[in-house]
Amino acid sequence: NQVLDEARDHGCTHVAFENLTDIRDRMTGAKRFHTWAFRRLYEYVVYKSEMLDIEVEQVSPAYTSQRCSKCGFTHERNRRSKHQFACQKCDYQLNADYNASKNIARKLMKRLHSGQMSSSGGAPCQCALKSGTLNLNGGFTASVDSTTEGESTDKPTTSVVGH
C-alpha cells in the first residue's frame, strides 16, 4: 500500500518496476526467494493500482545499476560495491539502488514521452521519488522533507508523474 499511497499523494500516473521476468532461472537460494517476494509485490501493486487509476509498467533493468543517473556515463566500475554508486566520469556518489531507481524512472519517462502517452493524455514530465523529483533531462529537485538525496532501498520502485 505504501508504494501506491506515495504515488497517489504525488499525483502520479505510473509506477515503474524493473522487469525481472525470467531472472529466477539464473538464481538460487535466498536471491531466488527475494525475487519471488518482489514479484508478489509487483502483482499486488498491479491489482491495487486499478482502483486508483494508476498504471504499473515494467522496464528493462539493463545497465540501470551501471549508468550514472546524473550524467549518463555507463561503466561497470561505477558500481564500487553492492550498495555504493560512484560515477567514474562526474564523481556523483549515492546509494546504488537509489541510482538504479532514478534510471528505471527515466527509462519509463523516455518510453512514454516518445509516443506512448499516460492515461491522462499527456507525456510524463517528472518522477516523484522519496527525496524529491527528477525530470526527463536528469534535473533533480530535493523535497522539503529531505536534506540528502538517495535513501537506502532494497529493491526500488519509482513513481512517474504525468500531465
pLDDT tens digit string along 7-20? 888 788 888 888 87
pLDDT band of residue 121 (cuts 50, 70, 90) is: low
Distance of CA 12 to the CA centre of its chain: 13
Flag whether pLDDT at 114 surpasses 90.
no
pLDDT in tens, 56-73: 999 999 999 999 999 999
Average pLDDT over every residue of 129-150: 60
Flag whether pLDDT at 91 surpasses 70.
yes
CA separation (Å) from 114 to 73, 80, 95, 110, 163?
22, 33, 29, 6, 15
What pLDDT, on a 0 to 100 scale, did the predictor assign at position 84? Answer: 96
Triad 18, 72, 148: Cα angle to 5°: 75
What is the rounded CA–CA span in Å between residue 63 and residue 103? Answer: 9
Domain coordinates of the chain in residue numbers?
2-59+105-162
Please tell me which residue, 154 or 49, carries the higher pLDDT value. 49
